[in-house]
C-alpha cells in the first residue's frame, strides 16, 4: 500500500478524490508559518541544550508536517495524548516555550496543565499513553459527547505490548480514538525493519482498526487524511490508525550520535523530501508567498527564538520542598516528617 | 447489616460505591456475567449495566492503563486483577504512571483508581495464585496500599478507597473470602476507621503482634493459645501498609515492650523489615527484645501440598513469641 500523497517532493500538487482538500493560499500559509515556527523553536531549544541551558532535548526536525497537519485536523476540544517530541503539535495548541522547556531544563517533571490545552503531559515510557488514551476514549464514549481522542506515538513504541493491547482493546470496545503513528524510521539506533516485519498499518487492520498510511512529510496529505478519518471516528465509525511515514532528521535526543548508525546519503535523501521546503515550492509556484510574508514570518520566528532563550534563562531555582506535598492528595505522616527533616537540613547548611 | 462473608462484604461495598457515585466503574477480567472468579462482583453487571461493570480483555497492563485514562476523564475506576501473581504485567502502569501522575503534575492531575487484588495463599492454588507482593507497591511513592482482614473492614475500607483522591492498591486475603462477620451499617459506627489507621484487634500487655490480611486471624489464634500459657498478646491489624500508622504501632509497642511482625510475604526486604526498623527507631528504650519477624521463606511460593510448611501458622508465631520472651 502506497502512502497517500497530494504534494510531491518537488511541490507538485495532485488532488486525490478519495481525500478531498480545498487547498487555499490561506491554508498553505497557515501550515507553512506553523511549521517554520516549530522548526525555529526546535533549533533554538537544541542550541540551548548545547549551551548547557537544557539537560536534554528531543528534536522534532523533519516531523513538522506530520504533527501540524494532523493536530490541525482535530477540534481544539479533542483531547490529545502526545509522546515526547510533539513540539510542533503542542505549539499549534497554544503551549508556550516556557511550558515546553521547563521539563528539559530539569526544573519540573511536566510542563503544562493538560486540561487547559486539551493536551496531555509528555509520556516518556514508550506506549504507556496508548492505554491511557483508550481509557479516556472509553470515558468519552460513556459521556456521549462528539469529542474524539488522539494519541501520538512512534514506530519504536509500536513494538511495546501496551501499544498492541491498546489497538486490540480500542477496536474491541469501539472507542472514538485516533492512533497517530509517526514512523520516523529510527527508534534511537534501531531501524524499522528490525522492529517489525509487517508494516504497522497492515498490522493495525488485523486488530480490526481502520488503517491508513500517509506521506508524513506532505502536510496537505496528512491534513486531508487525518481530517477525513477524524470525522469518520466522530461519526461513530470506531477507532482508526494513521501511519505517517516521515523521518527523524536529527538524533533521537541531544545525547545521541546518529552518524554511528546511519549514512549521510540516507539523510540527504530525506532532506530532499523536507516537509517545509516542499510546501514552500508549491507556494512559490502558485505565487502564494512573497517577500512581505517571508519577512513577517521571519520576524515572528525571531521573536519566538528570543522568547525561547529568555524564558529558559529566567527559570528560577527549584528545591525539593514542593515534591513532598504533591505525592498524595493528603500528605502522609512519613512525607510530613521527611519534609521537616529536609527543611531542617537546609536551614543547618545556611550556617 | 447481617453477617456477611468477606467476599459478600466487598460485593456490597462495590454496590454502594456504584450507587453513591455515577462515575464509579468496576472493571476487570470476568467481573461481569460470571461475577468474578471469587464472585466478589456477583450481580453487579446485571444491576448496573455493562457500561459500568466492564468485562475487559485479558490484558492487565491495559486494565490499569485504561483505568488511568478513565480517571483522567473524571471517572473512578475500581479494577480487579484476578490473582496476585497476575499483576506484574501491569507493574509499569502502576509504578511509573498511576503512582506518579499527581507528583509529575504537581497536583494538577488526580487519578483515583482502586486496584483490587486477591492476595496470599492458603487455598491450595496452583503457582502464581498465592503470592504476597505488597512490598513492591508499598515501596512506591504515590500509592496507598491497604489490606483488609475481616468483612467489616473490607466493606468500609473499599468504600473509602472508592471515595478518596489517591490511587489505592486494595488487597483482599483470598483465604478469608468465606469468613463471616457483622458489618457496620453506617459510617458513623465507631468501628469504621479511616483508611490509613491501624486497629488494635486484641488488646494485650506482654507483646505486640503486628500483622495484616490473612495473618490477622492466625495471630488471634496464636494469642488465644498464648493466653492459656499466661501470656497476654496484643494483636494490631496494620490495615494500611502505606502509609503506615506508626502512632498506633508505637503506642502498642511502648506499652508491651516486645514486638513480632507477621506476614505471609517473604521476610527478606518485606514490609516487616520496614516496620521493624521503624519500631526500633521509635521504641528503642522500651524494647525488651529485638523486633522479630515471621513470614514466608526466601523461595518462590511452593506447590499447594507444601504451602502449610511455608505459610506462617500459630505455631510459628508462638515460636517467635517464645524467642522474644527468652531474649
A328 CA: distance to closest CA in chain B (Å)? 6
Compare CB distances from A109 to B67, B69, B103 and report the shortest one's residue.
Answer: B103
CA angle B64, B66, B71 (to 5 degrees): 90
Contacts of A116 (CB under 8 A, 6+ apart): none
Neighbouring-strand partners of residue B168: B114, B144
Contacts of A192 (CB under 8 A, 6+ apart): A155, A183, A185, A186
Q: What is the pLDDT of residue B177?
A: 98
Cβ distance B84 to B121 under 8 Å?
no
Cβ distance B13 to B155 under 8 Å?
yes
In the 3-class helix/strand/coil scheme, how is chain A assigned residue by residue?
CCCECCECCCCCECCCCCCCCCCCHHHHHHHHHHHHHHHHHHHHHHHHHHCCCCCCCCCCCCCHHHHHHHHCCCCCCCEEECCCCCHHHHHHCCCCHHHHHHHHHCCCCCCCCHHHHCECCCCCCCCCHHHHHHHHHHHHHHHCCCCCEEEEEECCHHHCHHHHHHHHHHHHHCCCEEEEEEECCEECCEEHHHHCCCCHHHHHHHCCCEEEEEECCCHHHHHHHHHHHHHHHHHHHCCEEEEEECCCCCCCCCCCCHHHCCCHHHHHHHHCCCHHHHHHHHHHHHCCCCHHHHHHHHHHHHHHHHHHHHHHHHCCCCCCHHHHCCCCCCCCHHHHHHHHHHHHHHHHHCC
Give the residue from chain B lying closest to A123, CA to CA.
Answer: B97
Per-residue pLDDT tens digits of chain B, which is 327 residues long = 789 999 999 999 999 999 999 999 999 999 999 999 999 999 999 999 999 999 999 999 999 999 999 999 999 999 999 999 999 999 999 999 999 999 999 999 999 999 999 999 999 999 999 999 999 999 999 999 999 999 999 999 999 999 999 999 999 999 999 999 999 999 999 999 999 999 999 999 999 999 999 999 999 999 999 999 999 999 999 999 999 999 999 999 999 999 999 999 999 999 999 999 999 999 999 999 999 999 999 999 999 999 999 999 999 999 999 999 999
Nearest-CA neighbor of B295 among B271, B275, B279, B277? B271
* Residue pairs between chains A and B whose CB atoms are closer than 8 Å: 133
Cβ contact, residue pair B61, A109, below 8 Å? no
The catalytic residues of B are 129
In the 3-class helix/strand/coil scheme, how is B69-109 assigned residue by residue?
HHHHCCCEEEEECCCHHHCHHHHHHHHHHHCCHHHHCCCCC
Q: What is the pLDDT of residue B145?
A: 98
Probe site for chain A from B50, B53, B56, B66 (most A CB atoms < 10 A): B66
A344 CA: distance to closest CA in chain B (Å)? 19
- Does B248 touch chain A if contact means CB atoms closer than 8 Å? no
B174 CA: distance to closest CA in chain A (Å)? 28
Contacts of A309 (CB under 8 A, 6+ apart): A44, A48
Probe site for chain A from B23, B51, B73 (most A CB atoms < 10 A): B73
Q: What is the pLDDT of residue A350?
A: 84
- Does A350 touch chain B if contact means CB atoms closer than 8 Å? no
Q: What class has domain B199-326?
A: alpha beta
DSSP-derived 3-state class of residue B285: helix
Whether pTM > 0.90 for this model: the answer is yes
Range(s) within chain B of domains with CATH label 3.40.50.920: 199-326
Nearest-CA neighbor of B275 among B286, B287, B291? B291
pLDDT tens by residue, B100-124: 999 999 999 999 999 999 999 999 9
Q: What is the pLDDT of residue B271?
A: 98
Cell of B98: 498511576
**Termini Cα distance of chain B:** 46
Cβ distance A239 to A177 under 8 Å?
yes
Q: What distances in angstroms separate CA B20 from CA A238, B13, B14, B159, B189, one per listed residue?
A: 31, 10, 10, 10, 19
Compare CB distances from B51 to A108, A142, A323 and report the shortest one's residue.
Answer: A142
Cell of B309: 510448611
Q: Could you give the ipTM of this predicted complex?
A: 0.97
Strands A149-154 and A79-81: what pairing?
parallel
Q: Give the DSSP per-residue string, B137-167.
A: HHTSTT-EEEE--SHHHHHHHHHHHHHSSS-
Neighbouring-strand partners of residue B84: none
Q: What is the pLDDT of residue B2?
A: 82
Range(s) within chain B of domains with CATH label 3.40.50.970: 3-182
Q: Does domain B3-182 have CATH number 2.102.10.10?
A: no
Residue A336 phi, psi (nearest 5): -65, -40
Cβ distance A29 to A229 under 8 Å?
no
Q: What is the pLDDT of residue B1?
A: 78
Determine if the peptide bond prior to A334 is cis (ω within 30°).
Answer: no
Distance from C-alpha of B250 to C-alpha of B280, rounded to nearest angstrom: 9
Cell of A270: 530525506
Q: Dihedral angle at the C-alpha atoms of B207, B213, B214, B219, nearest 10 degrees?
A: 10
Strands B233-237 and B199-202: what pairing?
antiparallel
pLDDT tens by residue, A154-179: 999 999 999 999 999 999 999 999 99
Other Cβ atoms within 10 Å of B138 Cβ, number: 19
Q: List per-block mean pLDDT (blocks of 10 residues) for chain A, which spans 351 residues.
A: 95 97 98 98 98 97 98 98 98 98 97 97 98 98 98 97 98 98 96 95 98 98 98 98 97 94 95 97 97 97 98 94 94 96 93 71
Distance from C-alpha of B119 to C-alpha of B82, rounded to nearest angstrom: 10
Neighbouring-strand partners of residue B266: B296
Tell the residue number behind the cell numbers 508524513, with chain if given.
A216
Cell of B136: 513492591
**Cα B77 to the chain's mean position, in Å?**
18
What residues of A are in contact with residue B141 (Cβ under 8 Å)?
327
Residue A119 phi, psi (nearest 5): -140, 110
Compare CB distances from B65 to A109, A135, A168 and report the shortest one's residue.
Answer: A135
Q: What is the pLDDT of residue B74?
A: 98
Tell the residue number behind the cell numbers 522492529, with chain if given.
A195
Q: What distances in angstroms separate CA A6 from CA A16, A183, B71, B151, one per listed residue?
A: 7, 18, 40, 65
Probe site for chain A from B65, B75, B89 (most A CB atoms < 10 A): B65
Q: Is the dihedral of CA A283, A284, A290, A293 positive or negative?
A: positive
Distance from C-alpha of B76 to C-alpha of B163, rounded to nearest angstrom: 8
Strands A240-245 and A210-215: what pairing?
parallel
Strands B76-80 and B24-28: what pairing?
parallel
B54 CA: distance to closest CA in chain A (Å)? 10
Neighbouring-strand partners of residue A181: A153, A243
Amino acid at each position: 500500500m502506497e502512502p497517500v500523497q497530494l504534494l510531491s517532493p518537488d511541490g507538485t500538487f495532485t488532488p486525490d478524490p478519495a481525500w478531498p482538500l480545498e487547498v487555499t493560499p490561506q491554508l498553505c500559509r497557515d501550515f507553512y508559518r506553523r511549521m517554520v515556527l516549530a522548526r525555529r523553536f526546535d533549533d533554538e531549544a537544541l542550541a540551548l541544550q548545547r549551551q548547557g541551558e537544557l539537560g536534554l532535548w528531543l528534536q522534532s526536525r523533519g516531523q513538522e508536517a506530520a504533527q501540524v497537519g494532523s493536530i490541525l485536523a482535530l477540534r481544539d476540544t479533542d483531547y490529545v495524548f502526545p509522546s515526547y517530541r510533539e513540539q510542533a503539535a503542542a505549539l499549534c495548541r497554544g503551549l508556550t516555550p516556557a511550558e515546553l522547556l521547563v521539563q528539559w531544563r530539569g526544573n519540573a517533571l511536566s510542563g503544562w496543565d493538560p486540561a487547559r490545552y486539551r493536551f496531555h503531559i509528555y509520556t516518556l515510557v514508550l506506549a504507556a499513553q496508548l492505554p491511557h488514551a483508550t481509557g479516556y476514549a472509553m470515558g468519552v464514549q460513556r459521556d456521549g459527547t462528539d469529542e474524539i481522542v488522539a494519541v501520538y506515538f512512534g514506530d519504536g513504541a509500536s513494538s511495546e505490548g501496551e501499544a498492541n493491547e491498546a489497538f486490540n482493546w480500542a477496536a474491541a470496545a469501539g472507542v472514538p480514538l485516533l492512533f497517530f503513528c509517526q514512523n520516523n524510521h529510527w527508534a534511537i539506533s534501531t531501524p524499522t525493519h528490525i522492529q517489525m516485519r509487517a508494516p504497522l498499518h497492515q498490522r493495525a487492520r488485523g486488530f480490526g482498526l481502520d488503517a491508513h498510511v500517509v506521506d508524513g512529510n506532505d502536510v496537505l496529505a496528512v491534513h486531508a487524511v487525518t481530517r477525513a478519518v477524524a470525522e469518520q471516528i466522530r461519526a461513530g465509525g470506531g477507532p482508526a490508525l494513521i501511519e505517517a511515514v516521515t523521518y527523524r532528521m536529527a538524533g533521537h535526543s541531544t545525547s545521541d550520535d546518529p552518524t554511528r548508525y546511519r549514512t549521510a546519503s540516507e539523510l540527504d535523501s530525506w532532506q530532499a523530501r523536507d516537509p517545509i521546503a516542499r510546501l514552500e515550492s508549491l507556494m512559490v509556484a502558485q505565487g502564494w508567498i512573497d517577500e512581505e510574508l517571508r519577512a513577517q514570518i521571519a520576524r515572528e520566528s525571531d521573536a519566538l527564538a528570543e522568547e525561547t532563550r529568555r524564558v529558559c534563562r529566567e527559570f528560577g531555582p527549584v528545591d525539593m520542598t514542593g515534591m513532598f506535598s504533591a505525592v498524595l492528595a493528603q500528605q502522609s505522616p512519613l512525607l510530613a516528617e521527611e519534609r521537616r527533616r529536609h527543611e531542617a537540613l537546609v536551614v543547618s547548611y545556611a550556617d | 447489616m447481617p453477617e456477611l462473608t468477606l467476599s459478600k462484604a466487598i460485593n456490597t461495598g462495590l454496590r454502594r460505591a456504584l450507587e453513591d457515585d455515577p462515575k464509579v466503574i468496576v472493571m476487570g477480567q470476568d467481573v461481569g456475567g460470571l461475577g468474578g472468579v471469587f464472585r466478589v462482583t456477583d450481580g453487579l453487571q446485571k444491576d448496573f449495566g455493562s457500561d459500568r461493570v466492564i468485562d475487559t480483555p485479558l490484558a492487565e497492563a491495559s486494565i490499569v492503563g485504561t483505568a488511568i485514562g478513565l480517571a483522567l476523564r473524571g471517572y473512578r475506576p475500581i479494577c480487579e486483577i484476578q490473582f496476585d501473581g497476575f499483576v506484574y504485567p501491569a507493574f509499569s502502569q502502576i509504578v511509573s504512571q498511576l503512582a506518579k501522575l499527581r507528583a509529575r503534575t504537581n497536583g494538577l492531575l488526580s487519578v483515583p483508581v482502586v486496584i483490587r487484588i486477591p492476595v496470599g495463599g492458603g487455598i491450595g492454588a496452583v503457582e502464581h495464585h498465592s503470592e504476597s507482593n505488597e512490598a513492591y507497591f508499598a515501596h512506591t511513592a504515590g500509592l496507598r496500599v491497604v489490606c483488609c482482614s475481616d468483612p467489616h473492614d473490607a466493606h468500609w475500607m473499599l468504600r473509602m478507597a472508592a471515595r478518596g483522591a489517591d490511587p489505592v492498591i486494595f488487597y483482599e486475603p483470598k483465604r478469608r473470602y468465606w469468613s463471616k462477620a457483622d458489618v457496620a451499617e453506617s459510617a458513623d459506627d465507631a468501628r469504621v476507621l479511616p483508611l490509613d489507621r491501624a486497629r488494635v484487634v486484641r488488646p494485650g500487655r506482654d507483646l505486640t503482634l503486628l500483622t495484616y490480611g490473612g495473618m490477622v486471624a492466625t495471630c488471634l489464634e496464636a494469642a488465644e493459645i498464648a493466653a492459656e500459657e499466661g501470656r497476654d498478646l496484643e494483636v494490631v491489624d496494620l490495615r494500611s501498609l502505606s502509609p503506615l500508622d506508626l502512632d498506633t504501632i508505637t503506642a502498642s509497642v511502648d506499652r508491651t515492650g516486645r514486638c513480632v511482625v507477621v506476614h505471609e510475604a517473604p521476610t527478606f526486604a518485606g514490609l516487616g523489615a520496614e516496620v521493624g526498623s521503624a519500631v526500633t527507631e521509635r521504641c528503642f528504650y522500651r524494647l525488651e527484645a529485638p523486633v522479630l519477624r515471621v513470614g514466608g521463606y526466601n523461595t518462590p511460593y511452593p506447590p499447594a501440598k507444601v504451602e502449610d510448611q511455608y505459610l506462617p501458622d500459630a505455631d510459628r508465631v508462638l515460636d517467635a513469641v517464645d524467642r522474644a520472651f527468652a531474649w
